[in-house]
Structures are given as C-alpha cells and as structure tokens.
Structure 1
Amino acid sequence: MSDAGVSTAVSRAACPICGSVEVREARPTLEGERAVLCCRECEFVFILPRIEQDFTALPAEAYYDDWQMLDIGATAAVYAEVVIAARRAGLFAAAATTDSPERLSVLDVGCGAGHTLLHFRAHGWDVRGVDPWRAVTVAGSKYYRLPIDTARIEHAALPPQSQHVVLAIDMLQFVADPRAILEACRTVLKPGGLLYVTVPNYGASARERDGWNWAYFIPACYLNYFTAQALTRLARTAGFTKVEVARFGGPDGDDFLRLTAVSPLATTLTWADLSAEVPDNELPPLDRREIDERALSPEQRAWREDGHLVVRGLIPDHLIDRYCAVFRRLGTSRGYSSPTPYLDVTEIRDLCLYKPLTDLLEHLIGEPMALHLNLTGWISTERDWHQDDYLNPPEVNGHYAAVWMALDDIEADSGPFEFIPRSHRWPIIRQSKVLALLGRDNGDDPSWPWDSERLLTPFFDREVTERDVRIERFLGKKGDVLVWHSRLVHRGSPPRRQGAERRAIISHYSAAGRRRDMRDVRRHPGGGLYFALARAATTNGPAGATGVKRVVKRLLRVVARGR
C-alpha cells in the first residue's frame, strides 16, 4: 500500500470492535503491504484492507498437511474446560430440571473436520459444526459422520436459540467482522448458553519480546490481534454477559486467550413480581420517606442520597499489616474457607470492629451493628449484579450494611468492586417473592442465593440498560473503606489480568437487636459488636481445601460421563 493509500485508509477506517474512527498506524507500512492500524479508543489492532482468506476452495493440505499425524486427543482439554465452564453457567442443572431432560448441544464455528466435536459426541452431546472450508467439512461428514454445514455461521440455516454451547476456536483472527460473528453465535445460543472462544494473545510476552517478528503476526490471513481487554469488549459489545478471559499456552503461559461468556437470559420479570412496600416505621431512619434532612450529617446525607459512603484512610496501617501477616500464612490468596473467621482470628476482629468504623455504621443505620460475615479472598468474587437485602430475613428490613476495606492500593485490572449509585432507591425486593419464583418454600437450603441469580441477574442487567445508569468502581487506597447499603446493586467484576490480586476484606453487619436467628452478641475489647455464631467445620485452613477436593472429584466424574 502506498503512503497516500495508507493515509486514505487511516482517515476512513473504523474500529471493528468499538466503531471509533480515531485510529492510528501501529507500524510503518511498506510499499505493497497491508496497513496495521490501532484504535485509539480501545487499543484493538487490525489489518486494512479487510480482505479475508478464502477457504471455500482451499485444498485440505493447506493446513492439514498430514492427516495421519493429527493429534485428535489434544482437543480433549477443550471438552474438559467447556464442561467446567458449562457447569458454572448452570447449563447442566438447567437441562436436568426441565420437564423432559434434554441432551446438551454444542455448535463448533470454524470446526474444520470436526475433531473437537468427536469428544463431545463421545460423551453424549448433540453436536453440529459449521465451516466454509469445503475440503475438510466433506471429510468430517464422510469419515467422522459429523453433521457439518459448509457455510459461514452468518449464512448457515441454524435454528435460533438452539444450542447450549457455541465454540469458536482459533478463528476470530481470520474474519473481517468479528462482532458479526459473535452476534451470530449469540443468535443460535439458548438464553443462558455458553460461548467459548480462543485466539492468539496480542498481549503475550513473546509478542512483547519479538515485536513484529512474533509468530502469530500473519497479516496476509490474520486480520485481528486481540488483547484480553479488546476481546472482552468485543464480547460485551456483541451482547454477552459474564465475560471472562484467561491466558494460556506457550512457555510464558500467555500465548493464547480463552474467553467464556453467557448469552443473556430473557426475563419477563417486573418489579411487581419481586417487590413490595414496607411500612416507613420498619425501615432505618435514613430510608424513610419523611425525614428532617436539615439535621443530617454530611455522611448521613450521602448515605440517604447515594446508598454508599467512601471514607479515605479510615483504617490504620498497623491493623492492616498485622492482619496481612496472618493472612499470608494461609499460603493461598483465596482466603479462609469459613464465612466467620473473625471468631478465631483476633486480627480480623481488630480490623473489622475498629471503633471508628462501627461507630460510623451505627451513625448510618441508627442502631448498634454487629459483625456476622467475612469474605477474605484477595481475588475478585466475580459474583454478578445482586443486592444483599433480600438474602436476609425479612425482619432485618435494611438494618444492614457491608464494608469493602482496601488492604493495599487497588488496581483497575484486578477485578474491583462495582456498584450502581442510588440503586438502593429502587423498589424493595422481598425474599418471599424470590423464593416463590424459585419454587422454594423457604430459604433453608444455603444454595438458594446462587440459584436466585438465574432470575435476578438478567433482571438487573435489563434495569441497568433501560435506566442507562452509571456504573462506578471502588479503586481504594490502603486503609480506604467503602460502606454500602443493603439494597445497593453491586458485583465483583472479573479481573483483566491473570492472577491479579485485589487485597481486601469484606465484612457484613446487621443491627444487633434485629436478628432473631443470631442471639449471642458480644463486644470486642475496645471495639464493636459481633455475633458469636456456631463455627464452621473448617475455619483457619485455605479456602475450601476439603470442598475443592470434592469439586475436583465431581468434575472428573462429569468429564468421564459428559453429564
């Protein structure tokens, strides 16, 4: 491409992911070469002109140069990874709880001859492939007896909402419009279905070392170069939720990116299905309709208006450092397995019952508050949008608060806490209505809060979109705390950097006199109150050491059975 041609291309180019026309040259373009451009908005790197490699009449030998040397077993890992991701997405449970339990289904986009599909079929899945490369699709159909459509997914005759899982393995780098491909994938996925994608990682250590001599820089056929951030943005722009990206492969463990995402569940729920009015006198004073706002402190006014409060530097370094020294002895960033480690770890009580903190909670809620729950992991919970209020007994009625305490400076790529300011003013969701929608008589089963997410996460997603609300994140410095309202909609965002730590401790508090299920209230010397609950079976060990063994055994059985 000539200099004039490059200038013209840059001036007319739009980013294939975000649509921005603010692009620049990523590298100088030599005569006869394609231009390599970078979006200034999302940093996505792409090739111009957007001319795809034509696979339709390509001979099989172009890539499959020796069929006898193909290692079909190498794709077994994909099956195992998809099973784990599908279980996390609730696909196994959803398929089993229908009136007529159905077999799980998978579509492989860009399947080639269908080698990956063989593993799914062997474990009882309904399989299907789609690929425009005729030479290999014919071989897969003839010799493997696989149902493969010789077409692009955008043009294939695939029933909408027909697949539980869609795979796109090492193919997005080839296509001129990756967003259109993922939108087509979402069209054929069932609501709540799983997308699984792999691509070369433009942010890999090898690419940083090798520059434009990187093995996966092939502008003649690879049109797209994804970082974890660009791939995440692409999936979200295409309408997917619960987007997670991990790095894998190569000597540095980061040659490739693996994305999993979920097609949004359709929801017809309304506030009338979920909420109910609560008499003013049963709510905390700052939540009541009628209140003399002239008498409020700045902290109380912010709480009433926004549903959260950030206090900078509230927790002294010496309390944080003493707790972190104890935490490091666990040998894991996942934290304590018990939800009540404060019962056994003095340093947690010193930290979470620090008197200025508990005095602030009482100032906001209007009653003495007692600690009853800790989340101690130094990695994001990645739990999607939810509130805390409906997870508690109805008599609590908002006399509840939670605290996110930064034990170190929190980085933006570590999966920070995200929340929707003023969402505590939305209608009040009642636990009884959620349980009824789930077909449960009561909340005795401790798994019901996670079960509720299949109803409430798409409901909150819709509210976020329709209300066009601002999502904020807490990027605290060491010693900063965020206190949030029991009805503030919040989530733990997925980290954008593999292994990223966000050193924090999360604590939940209820009004000491309102928990009929928690009677034994004690005071920490020099500090606040806590509920002396029955201890969990494991308190001081790494998070879920026993539980992890059970989960691993269960997953191995799942992989063996495919169901």
Structure 2
Amino acid sequence: MEPRRADCPWCGGRALVTRLVSPDIVQVKPGSFTLEECRTCGHIFQNPRLTAEGLEFYYRDMYDGLGEKDTERVFRFTSKIYRRRARMVRRHASPRTWLDIGTGYGHFCRTARTILPDTRFDGLDLGAGVLKAQRRGWITHAYQGLFPELADRLPDPYDVVSMHHYLEHTVDPRREIATAAAVLRPGGLLIIEVPDPGSIMGRLLGRYWVPWFQPQHLHLMPLDNLTAALTDAGFQVVAVERQKADIGHDFVLAALVAINLLGPRPRRPWKDGPVTPVDRARFTVAMALMPAALLTGFVLDLTVRPLLPRRSNAYRVLAAAPRRGRP
C-alpha cells in the first residue's frame, strides 16, 4: 500500500475522518482497508491506497481466472439497468459510435444494441473480457489497457463515451474525465454511473453495503463533486438520474456478503496455511444459514427499502463535451 495521505485527493482539505474499515468482501483475500471522508467536500477515498501491485493482486481471479464465471453471471442479470442507460442517451442523441470504458465482457453493449441498433459499440477494459466481447460480436473493436494510455491510439472521435461503475475504480477520476473529453467529438456525450455515497443504505449496512466494495473502489464521489469536476473539464451537465440508476437488492447483497465473510470457501489459493476443521465448520454453518439470510434480505428489500429516503445506491450523469475539436 502507498503511504497514508493527510489531505483529500479531491479538494486538498485536511479534515479527514474514518468512514469505514472493511476486509475484502468478495474474495476474502487477506487485508483490511480504510475509507476516509473529507469533511470539507464529502469525497470518500481509500486511505492508504493500494499500489498498482496491490490492486493487481486483488483484481486477480475476480474478473478473469477463478472468479470469471461468477462475475459474468452477475452481469447477465442487470439488463434492466443496461436498457435504462441506453434510453437516457437516446432521449438526447442518436449516436453513430459509442465507446464503453470498463466494458467487462460486453453485456451492456449487447443489450444497448437492442435500443440503438444503428450504433457501433466499441469497448475498452484492462481485463481480457473485452477480447471475449469482441469474439462474441457484442462489440466491434476491443481495446485492452488503461484508458488514458490508449486514448491516442483510438480512431476518430466518438459520439458517446460511457463509464458505468468504472470511475470509482480509477486512481485519478479527473484524468479519466479529461481523457473522455479528448476522445469525444465536439458536443459528444459522456455518461457516467457510479455508486452514490450519499445513499442511506451505506450508513445502515456499513461494511456489508456492496457499493463500498473494498478493496477495489478507490473513490466514491458525491453527485455535486462529480458535476463540478465535469464543469471544470468543460462539460455541460445535460441530465441526472438517481432512482433510475438504482441497482436495488441492497439487503440481499448484504446478506450474501455477511455469509461470505462468516464462512468463505475453505480452499482458496491465497489462504495462509492448510484448511482446518474450523474452516470447514464455518463454511458449513454459513451454507446452512444462507437460505434464511437471503429470504430475510429479500423481504427487507421488498418491504422496508422502498420506504427509506435517499435509498438509491447509484446515480447517473449525462454531460455534453466541450464544443472544440480533439487535440
């Protein structure tokens, strides 16, 4: 991990408080991670932050390798959100070309093509899933690597660039926004969807709220901070969606996290030492409790969650690029 910083990476404020301390909630790899909140601007960030090598360790076997099938299975069940994203853009434009940053396996592009059949979708991602998306025919061109480093090699400017649950993973969100401005045609659209750290669910569920998603989420940006950063980069905010960006299922997902932390799979390549009887017993107990935990989560999502204010766990912003050409 990098040294802990004493100031906010967003505004430079030095009034920092601990918001959350969390383990790795999905793979249960070793380590503990702290999210701190800036009292000046409300920005929440991982502090100390993982180095590039640390991030590589925690990403490994999440989107590729051992965890690939489980992760892709999750992506298949979010087509409703995918359609809402595409419709948000369609209300303002009929794009010919669209670049999806952090495209993963291409599921969003596959669904969005049903809403925008005349649009060419390209994808960019650090993982190998983007190549699979191209082989499947879900995207036309695949670009594997870091967005700011690949920007100069991309083709003509795009009509739309999308960053869906991508920006919170990046080391420098402002640089990503500036790069998007550089690859968009003048007046082109940037659509960003990120977790909403202002959601009441984050306070209610603590470390079990999946959008905190430690250790992968490095920055969690309040809506006002993100719109101000877009304005500073020359963008004009066109539309904002909160409830339509809500992924839902907070209580069910929290139940899954609790069960996973209670009794993770005993055989994990990164586990220190041999599998013990305690490991097996914890896993057995967790599996026995899972049906009741999931049922409870489902009932709470159905009955309690709709009554809560500011319950949306994400927000979505659509912004128009500066009216200038690509450098």
TM-score between both structures, scaled by the size of structure 2: 0.65
Q: CA deviation at 1:130?
A: 0.4
State the partner residue of 1:82: 89
- Within-5 A mapping of 1:81-480: 81-84=88-91, 87=92, 91-92=93-94, 104-122=96-114, 123-134=117-128, 136-144=129-137, 146=139, 147-156=141-150, 157-159=152-154, 162-242=157-237, 244-248=239-243, 249=246, 250=248, 251-252=305-306, 254-266=312-324
Q: CA deviation at 1:164?
A: 0.8
Q: CA deviation at 1:182?
A: 1.2
Q: CA deviation at 1:116?
A: 1.7
Q: CA deviation at 1:35?
A: 3.4
The DSSP-based 3-state class of the residue aligned with 2:4 is helix
**Larger radius of gyration, structure 1 or 2?**
1
Whether the 8 Å CA contact 1:112–1:137 is kept in 2: the answer is yes
Distance, in Å, in 2 between the alignment partners of 1:30 and 1:210 is 12
Bigger relative contact order (CA 8 A; separation at least 6): 2
Distance, in Å, in 2 between the alignment partners of 1:254 and 1:204 is 6
Q: Which moved more, 1:149-158 or 1:117-126?
A: 117-126
State the partner residue of 1:48: 47
State the partner residue of 1:33: 32
Q: Structure 2 unaligned runs (5+)?
A: 24-30, 249-304
Whether the 8 Å CA contact 1:174–1:223 is kept in 2: the answer is yes
Between the aligned residues of both structures, percent identity stands at 22
What per-residue deviation string (whole Å, max 9, x for no partner) do you get for residues 95-152 of structure 1?
A: xxxxxxxx62110000012122224445111221100101x12211212262111112
Matched positions, count: 243
Whether the 8 Å CA contact 2:5–2:48 is kept in 1: the answer is no
TM-score between both structures, scaled by the size of structure 1: 0.39
Q: CA deviation at 1:158?
A: 4.1
Q: Which moved more, 1:123-132 or 1:220-229?
A: 220-229
Q: Which moved more, 1:124-133 or 1:247-256?
A: 247-256
Whether the 8 Å CA contact 1:50–1:176 is kept in 2: the answer is no
Q: Structure 1 unaligned runs (5+)?
A: 93-102, 268-563
Whether the 8 Å CA contact 1:243–1:260 is kept in 2: the answer is yes
Whether the 8 Å CA contact 2:19–2:37 is kept in 1: the answer is no
Q: CA deviation at 1:202?
A: 0.8
Q: CA deviation at 1:266?
A: 2.9
Whether the 8 Å CA contact 2:235–2:319 is kept in 1: the answer is yes
Q: 1:106 is matched by which residue type in structure 2?
A: W
Q: CA deviation at 1:30?
A: 9.2
Whether the 8 Å CA contact 2:163–2:192 is kept in 1: the answer is yes
The DSSP-based 3-state class of the residue aligned with 1:124 is coil
